[in-house]
Amino acid sequence: MNRVSNINVIKTMLIKNPVEDVAAKKMFRVALNKSHATLIYNKINPNTYDLIHTFIPKRYQGTGLGSIFAFKIFDYLIEKNLKYKLTCEFLIKICDKTKGKYELNRIKD
């Protein structure tokens, strides 16, 4: 399978697979083939997360997966009525670009 068709399969996995909260590792993740898209967090209080570091496996970086993952995480937290502070510079960029609904549950200090 060439890289372009493979990336579409991986994008579909990212869209369809659930967000898992691996609390022991302070990590949200979504399964992608044999790896994961991950986001390290700190829980500020039961309803608020500090989103610290986003990671897409190296071979898939620069293909739009990070943006899809960012939206998926924001949607997941909004759906659960949770607030988030953005420390990850990538998530700040994505949130600032889209404004609107992703600002609603964002806290700034």
Ligand X SMILES: CC(C)(COP(=O)(O)OP(=O)(O)OC[C@H]1O[C@@H](n2cnc3c(N)ncnc32)[C@H](O)[C@@H]1OP(=O)(O)O)[C@@H](O)C(=O)NCCC(=O)NCCS
User: Is residue 33 a contact residue for ligand X (CB under 6 A)?
Assistant: no
Among 6, 35, 48, 67, binds ligand X (CB under 6 A): 67
Other Cβ atoms less than 10 A from the Cβ of 108: the count is: 6
Quote the least distance from Cβ 4 to ligand X, whole Å: 14
- CA 29 to centroid of chain Cα atoms: 8
Tell me if 66 contacts ligand X by CB under 6 A: yes
Q: Please identify, using beta-carbon distances, which residue of 53 and 83 lies nearer to ligand X.
A: 53
Among 20, 89, 96, 103, binds ligand X (CB under 6 A): 89
Does 65 bind ligand X (CB under 6 A)? Our answer is yes
Burial 41-64, CB ≥16 within 10 A → b, else e: beeeeeeebbbbebbbeeebeebe
Query: In sequence order, which residues have a C-beta less than 8 Å from that of residue 46 and are 6 or more positions away?
Result: none
Shortest distance, CB of residue 97 to ligand X, whole angstroms?
A: 8
